[in-house]
Amino acid sequence: DDKKAKRLNDKAILIRWHKQFKGTWLTHKFINGEPLTNSERCLLSELIDKYRTRLADISWFMRTLNEDIARKANKEDGCTGRFWEGRFKSQALLDEAALAACLAYVDLNPVRAKMAETPEESDHTSIKKRIETAKVGKQPKSLMRFAGNPRKHMPKGLPFEFK
């Protein structure tokens, strides 16, 4: 979200950055409120600009996400090299139909794998969580809400209606 990234102050950017990455001695010095020299402030400003840009860049996010997953899987399997040998690709979901297909594919995986009879019975899926919380008239906090059909002034959320 470019607009949100631009509104965040420097400390908020670094706090978000440190949630995913270690940061540098300089970013930690700033977060801890330690005094900075002029040259440190200049260098910090450049780092924050770079972090702000990266935090709003979905391509950069997907690259780092894939790297992290690959490292963990390779460590678990005791191997090195290209993760999944190119078998899986990150795919941009360019419209509502692609998004709906992806949601359905992921939520139906446990049924296809015979781990559950129905999506409602499958563990760790968004559809199960949505159904359970809808029964008590709530929205799952960990999931983006359904915002209804696309329209001119669309609120933040997935462009679907849940009935």
Distance CA 128, CA 134 (A): 10
| Domain boundaries, given as residue ranges, for the chain | 2-56, 92-163
Q: Is the pTM of this model over 0.75?
A: no
Q: Residue 1: which pLDDT band, with cuts at 50, 70 and 90? A: low
Distance CA 155, CA 148 (A): 9
Residue 22 above 90 pLDDT? yes
Residue 44 above 90 pLDDT? yes
